Amino acid sequence: MRIDRLTWSWLILLGLSTVTLLFAQHEESGSGVGIAGAALLLAVAVAKGREILLHYLELDRAGAGWRVLLSGYLVLLCGAILLVHAAGTWGWIGPGGTP
Amino acid sequence: MGSRALDDRPDGFSGLPGNLMMWILILGELAVFGAAFVGFAVARALDPVPFAAGQAHLDGTLGAVNTMVLVTSGFIAARGVAAGRRGRPALARRRMLAAAAVGSVFLAVKAVEYAATLGAGLSIDSDTFFALYFLLTGFHALHVVMGIAVLAIVARWPSVENLETGAAFWHMVDLIWVILYPLVYLVR
């Protein structure tokens, strides 16, 4: 059976969700995720978001400006979240790091 | 707008599926949620102790299950749009209703999660973390409720433009969740 791009997107999204599921189960048995873990989780979020934007919302068929605008939104938002998380963990802002 | 062949779509607003007004709403929603997410991250950085303690109470596995529920529902809705474009409105209607039914599983899982949280004595006025947790997840869950209603409406009147417009709102709800979930449940 031929698998079309939309179905691939769904399978990719399920696969990436499985990664976060494993991460969540690992986390329940331990402590914080650290900067690298946060970066991985947010990178997975960007990858999921791109699949939704391009293939569910069909931006792959819209103008390039829309892809740049909304993919840029995803990357900038997740980048800002990571930067703030790192700033808190390294003590640049807040009380000086997570306990 | 929606009945045009996909490959003929020009650039500009008319290059997007569905009704223009829905896209204006989507851009506004993404801006509001984006600002709220950065605010959540800043609040955690400024006062990490209650956030770490609060996140430890949440069930990240349920959140991951809900991600799978939403992306599956979104896939079915996208299939519904495809059926409408092929001139099969009855199939499109069934798929939109199926997408809404799968979407309602998200709300059932969320109800289990809220029951466990509230049952542990943790509510919106417990601390900063739980105030933001209930506000963000509650606001998102309200969008899921609205999305299910929109899917039901476009299933009732399944023109191609209606199907595209309803599905676009539903995919936006999906998009917001894939950022909200790691931010609120996992990153700590």
Q: Which residues of A touch B41 (CB under 8 A)?
A: 80-81, 84-85
**If pLDDT is split at 50, 70 and 90, which confidence band does A98 have?**
very low
In the predicted model, what is the mean pLDDT of chain A? 89
Going by C-beta distance under 8 Å and a sequence separation of 6 or more, which residues neighbour residue B89?
Answer: B83, B158
> Which one of A29, A52, A71 would you mutate to disrupt binding with B, by most B Cβ within 10 Å of its Cβ?
A52
Which 3 state secondary structure label does DSSP give A15?
A: helix
CA dist B79 and B118 (Å) reads 37
ipTM: 0.91
Query: What is the pLDDT at residue A29?
Result: 61
Residue B62 lies in a domain: yes
Residue B7 lies in a domain: no
Residue of higher predicted confidence among B6 and B150: B150
What's the burial of B92, exposed, middle or buried (CB within 10 Å: 0-12/13-18/19+)? buried
CA dist B168 and B170 (Å) reads 5
Residue B30 lies in a domain: no
Q: Which of A88-92, B5-9, B152-156 has the lowest mean pLDDT?
A: B5-9
Helices B160-181 and A64-89, packing angle to 10 deg: 20
Handedness of CA A22, B187, A47, B17 (dihedral sign): positive
**If pLDDT is split at 50, 70 and 90, which confidence band does A31 have?**
low
Query: What is the pLDDT at residue A89?
Result: 86
- Exposure string (b/e) for A28-49, b if CB count within 10 Å is 16 or more? eeeebbeeebbbbbbebbbbbb
Q: Please count the residue pairs, one from chain A and one from chain B, whose beta carbons lie less than 8 angstroms apart.
A: 159
| Residue B90, domain extent | 40-186
Q: Write the residue in B34, B71, B181 that is nearest to A10 by C-beta.
A: B71
Residue B18 lies in a domain: no
Residue of higher predicted confidence among B94 and A3: B94
Give pLDDT tens digits for B153-183.
Answer: 999 999 999 999 999 999 999 999 999 999 9
Q: CA B22 → CA A32, A43, A85, B61, B154, distances in Å?
A: 39, 28, 33, 32, 13
Q: How many CB atoms lie within 10 A of CB B99?
A: 28
Residue B160 lies in a domain: yes
Determine the longest span between alpha carbons in chain B, in angstroms: 56
CATH number (domain holding residue B155)? 1.20.120.80
Does residue B14 have a pLDDT over 70? no
Residue B94 lies in a domain: yes
> Tokens at residue B17, please?
């599926």
Average pLDDT over residues B140-149: 98
- Give the residue on B whose Cα is nearest the Cα of A34: B188
Query: What is the pLDDT at residue A30?
Result: 57
Query: What is the pLDDT at residue B2?
Result: 44
> Tokens at residue B128, please?
């900063």
What total of structural domains would you count in chain B?
A: 1
Give pLDDT tens digits for B16-48.
Answer: 999 999 999 999 999 999 999 999 999 999 999
Query: What is the pLDDT at residue B156?
Result: 97
pTM, rounded to two decimals: 0.92
Q: Which of A15-19, A95-99, B21-25, B43-47 has the lowest mean pLDDT?
A: A95-99
Residue B3 lies in a domain: no
Q: How many CB atoms lie within 10 A of CB B161?
A: 18
Give pLDDT tens digits for B80-108.
Answer: 999 999 999 999 999 999 999 999 999 99
SS3 content of chain B, % helix, strand, coil (to 5): 85, 0, 15
Q: Write the residue in A27, A61, A95 that is nearest to B6 by C-beta.
A: A61
> Of B3, B16, B41, which is closest to residue B188 (Cα–Cα)?
B41
